[in-house]
Chains A and B, each alone.
Chain A
């Protein structure tokens, strides 16, 4: 659609509030973040230090670990959480008896405070009196009687990510909503052809909701790149920095008054997010979900 010359003024006027707010609350803070990342700002004084913050960050094992863990969270979300949500959505789309109950139960974590859920799961994983160890012990796995799931290098990340699966309901609901919009004609035609339920799921439902699936993958990656509360509340990046993620790392830098270095970590995180999104767009072929 061509914009007429006399319409430009009106257009600018209408988008001005959005542009101003966007600049004020998004562009300006990013510019401030970028500028402060080149200083040793401690909340009181600041001096220009060039790339020192970036060099120090990339020389820190715990920072590299934070990036790796974030990627681990993103990949897990893309290849486990969202596909699991897809499977559940396909199953629930059959509208079998009690499907609404399952849908509600799976969606409940979204409406409960994540802090409360994290505390609950920290108790479940507790080595001394946790429910998980109690169950494992009672089914004969006595080696796990006092296993410290969140305090063990080998199991801390897995326990955290396992817990995060309880948020599968969010993506499930998005995909389920899409299945509701599929015309019944396709299924009627498939029924006439004698297609089984699995064949209908694989050859009708799945291809139609592909674009929504890709959207969920992108959302999941973005959410997990910003991962903070579960890690902060359950392990605070420990033990031995093994579950460290970028936002917790930035938070830690701020609490020790290294705001300049925290800003540098923030800039790296934004760059990483942008790269991941570009990569995903390329991999998932943007036209299919736009």
Chain B
């Protein structure tokens, strides 16, 4: 009996082992064949989605790239609709070393990204293939390197001139945008008397629109090299004096408002003057009230009398750069580089620029029928004596930049004086 049971048991074990071996071999073959033919997936948490003016063409470019590389590379977008949350997420990812495959990096994070050593060094790819040297202006890439390492590819440029509603200004008796703040505030007074609101402002999130105004006033008061002088320079107080007055001529919801609210007022002709980058041009047509685009004028920001800046001076600089997380798989690295090259092909950049109004560093032949506002802004840049950095990028401290909206709201509410607002910035260090 015992012998019989042993025999049955032996057969059963053999059968099981046989089945297991077949299964193991089958699984191994499946894995090997799937690895051999694996499609490389590139993940891109992108801010150019949703209402962003670059959404459509970026989507088209990704689809075309995926179609051209079907079966070998696939770019997958993770939609990130909030720019600030995206920057915060990226900051955390840099700290934890879990960088996405591709990312769009704002100028304020470039230094941290480089220091982390977690980004893919793109410098070797510049030397191995002439593509980027051919499409970028001379020295544009070299100047973006730190110690010979290129952690991010400079991509989007921006300037932030004033955009104003000619119709509202005309109703207030103004045919031309004032070139100094004394006249500017007189104009605001006239616009207010006419039942409209002069400027769109905001203190929510990073205080973007107001921060651009502050940057303009700062460069006007202290010159384009103001950030080298430190927060003790009186220009910082003078610029806050301008902002204090600016908040007397803004909407009642400006304190705490975000970019959507602030831009929305201008798009709906509730405010006469607005400041943002060229990427907003497409939205004047897509989201503005009918006829808004035709009524918009572009001008350099007003000057502070007796300041060290020059008339026609702009603020702006590098906006988004393209970066990639360091890869251990050379095939994936090559796939990422291939996609980055695709994004920097001049024809593709021209498409992006044409559809959104955004400006790019890559040399691209733009169509002759580019948006009037884009052409005026481009002209403004070529005429500008300087393009100074914006406060958020120039100040060189994430903590100070992050305290700016709080200092500004304290100033606007009369909680602190302009000197007190600067002290709040100094205290944030």
Query: Beyond A153-B413, A236-B205, A238-B406, is A44–B256 a contact (Cβ under 8 Å)?
Result: no
Alpha-carbon distance A252/B84, docked complex (angstroms)? 12
Chain A residue with Cβ nearest B88: A255
| Binding stretch for chain A, among B14-22, B90-98, B298-306, B364-372 | B90-98
B256 x A255 contact (CB < 8 A)? no
CA distance A43 to B203 in the complex (A): 28
Q: B427: nearest residue on chain A (CB-CB)?
A: A60
Contact B415 A128 (CB under 8 A): no
B415 adjacent to A153 (CB under 8 Å): yes
* Chain A neighbourhood of B253, CB < 8 A: 126-128, 146, 148, 151
| Size class of the B contact interface (CB-based, 8 Å) | 20 to 34
Of B91, B203, B252, which is within 8 A of A146 by CB? B252
User: Contact at A238–B399, with CB atoms within 8 Å?
Assistant: no
Instruction: Select which of A42, A61, A148, A236 is within 8 A of B252 by beta carbon.
Output: A148
Tell me whether A240 and B415 are in contact in the complex, defined as CB-CB below 8 angstroms, given that A254-B92, A257-B398 are known contacts: yes
A259 CB–B CB distance under 8 Å: yes
Asked if B53 is at the interface (CB within 8 A of a chain A CB), the reply is: no
Decide yes or no whether B405 CB sits under 8 A from chain A.
yes
CB distance from B98 to the nearest CB of A (A): 12
The A-contacting residues of B in range 384-403, CB under 8 angstroms, are 397-399, 402
Contact, CB under 8 Å: A240 / B254: no
Q: Which residues of A sit under 8 angstroms from B427, Cβ to Cβ? A: 60-61
A235 at the interface (CB under 8 A from B): yes
Interface presence of A239 (CB below 8 A):
yes
Residue of B nearest to A261 (CB): B399
CB distance from A133 to the nearest CB of B (A): 9
B409: chain A residues at CB < 8 Å are 151, 238-240
CB atoms of A127 and B252 under 8 A apart: yes
Tell me if B125 is interfacial: C-beta within 8 Å of chain A: no
Residues of chain B within 8 A of A235, CB atoms compared? 256
Complex contacts, B154 vs chain A, CB 8 Å: none
Q: Mark A149-164, 1 if CB is under 8 A from B, else 0.
A: 0111100000000000
CA distance A127 to B251 in the complex (A): 9
Q: Using Cβ atoms and an 8 Å threshold, which residues of chain A touch B256?
A: 148, 150-151, 235, 238-239
A254→B112 CA distance, assembly (Å): 13
A281 within 8 A of B: no
Q: What are the interface flags for B122-155 relative to A under an 8 Å C-beta threshold, 1 for contact and 0 otherwise?
A: 0000000000000000000000000000000000
How many Å lie between the Cα of A252 and that of B92 in the bound state?
12
Q: A44-B116, A255-B91 are in contact. Are A151 and B405 (CB under 8 A)?
A: no
What A residues does B397 contact at CB under 8 A? 256
Q: Is there contact, CB below 8 Å, between B112 and A257?
A: yes
Question: Which A residues touch B94, using CB under 8 A?
Answer: 43-44
Q: Is the CB of A43 within 8 A of B112?
A: yes
Q: From the candidates B115, B255, B416, name the one contacting A238 in the complex (CB within 8 A).
A: B255
Report the separation of the CA atoms of residues A147 and B416 in the bound assembly, to the nearest whole angstrom. Answer: 20
Min CB–CB distance B189 → chain A (angstroms): 19
Residues of A241-281 whose CB lies within 8 A of B = 241-242, 252, 254-259
- Contacting B at CB under 8 A, from A206-262, are 235-242, 252, 254-259
Shortest Cβ gap from B131 to chain A (Å)? 31
Q: Which one of B251, B257, B416 lies within 8 Å of A240 (CB-CB)?
A: B416
Residues 405-418 of B, flagged 1 when their CB comes within 8 A of A and 0 if not, give 11101101101100
Q: How far is the CA of A259 from the CA of B399 in the complex (A)?
A: 12
Q: Smallest distance from the beta carbon of B400 to chain A beta carbons, Å?
A: 9
- The reply on B316 being an interface residue by CB < 8 A is no
Asked whether any CB of chain A lies closer than 8 Å to the CB of B204, the reply is yes
A226 to chain B, nearest CB (A): 19
**A238, A242, A252, most chain B CB atoms within 10 A:** A238
In the complex, which residues of chain B have a beta carbon less than 8 angstroms from the beta carbon of A150? Answer: 256
Among the listed B92, B252, B255, B398, which residue makes an inter-chain contact with A239, where contact means beta carbons less than 8 Å apart? B255
Instruction: Report whether A238 and B405 are in contact in the complex, using a CB–CB cutoff of 8 Å.
Output: yes
Chain A residues with CB under 8 Å of B204's CB are: 236, 238
A43/B95 contact (C-beta < 8 A), A151-B203, A238-B203 known: yes
Alpha-carbon separation in the docked complex, A257 to B398 (Å): 8
Taking a contact as CB atoms under 8 Å apart, the answer to whether B406 and A62 are in contact is: yes
- The 8 Å CB contact of B95, one of A44, A61, A153, A242, is A44
Q: Which of the listed residues B92, B96, B257, B406 has the most CB atoms from chain A within 10 Å of its own CB?
A: B406
Contact of A148 among B87, B92, B95, B255 (CB under 8 A): B255
Give residues 1-50 of A contacting B (CB, 8 Å). 42-45
Contacting residues, chain B, for A152 (C-beta < 8 A)? 255, 413
Q: Shortest beta-carbon distance, B87 to chain A, in Å?
A: 8
CA distance A54 to B409 in the complex (A): 27
| CB neighbours of A241 from chain B (8 A) | 406, 410
Asked whether A44 lies within 8 Å of B255 as measured between CB atoms, the reply is no
Q: Which among B92, B205, B409 has the greatest number of chain A C-beta atoms within 10 A?
A: B409
How distant is the Cα of A151 from the Cα of B405 in the complex, in angstroms? 12
User: A256 to B402, Cβ gap below 8 A?
Assistant: yes
Distance in angstroms from B172 CB to nearest chain A CB is 21
Which residues from A are CB-within-8-Å of B254? 151
- Bound-complex Cα distance A238 to B410 (A): 9
Complex: chain B residue closest to A130, CB-CB:
B253
In the complex, which residues of chain B have a beta carbon less than 8 angstroms from the beta carbon of A254? 91-92
| Chain B nearest Cβ from A60, distance in angstroms | 7
Please indicate the chain A residues that have their CB under 8 angstroms from the CB of B205 in the complex: 236
- A256 lies within 8 A of B203 (CB): no
Considering only CB atoms, which chain B residue lies closest to A150 in the complex? B256
B203 touches A239 (CB 8 A): yes
A256: chain B residues at CB < 8 Å are 397-399, 402
Q: Chain B contacts of A128 at CB under 8 A?
A: 251-253
A residues less than 8 Å from B116 (CB atoms)? 43-44
Residue of B nearest to A243 (CB): B256
For residue A98, give the distance in angstroms from its CB to the closest CB of chain B. Answer: 38
Cβ proximity bits A118-151 to B, threshold 8 Å, 1 near / 0 not: 0000000011100000000000000000111011
- B402 x A252 contact (CB < 8 A): yes
Inter-subunit contact A44/B112 (CB<8 Å): yes
Contact partners of A126 in chain B: CB under 8 A: 253
Per the bound structure, the CA–CA distance linking A184 and B40 in Å amounts to: 69
Q: Which residues of B contact A146 (CB under 8 A)?
A: 252-253
7 contacts between A and B (CB under 8 A): A43-B95, A146-B253, A151-B256, A239-B406, A240-B409, A252-B402, A255-B92
Known: A128-B253, A148-B253. 8 other contacts (CB 8 A): A43-B94, A44-B94, A60-B427, A126-B253, A128-B251, A150-B256, A151-B253, A256-B397
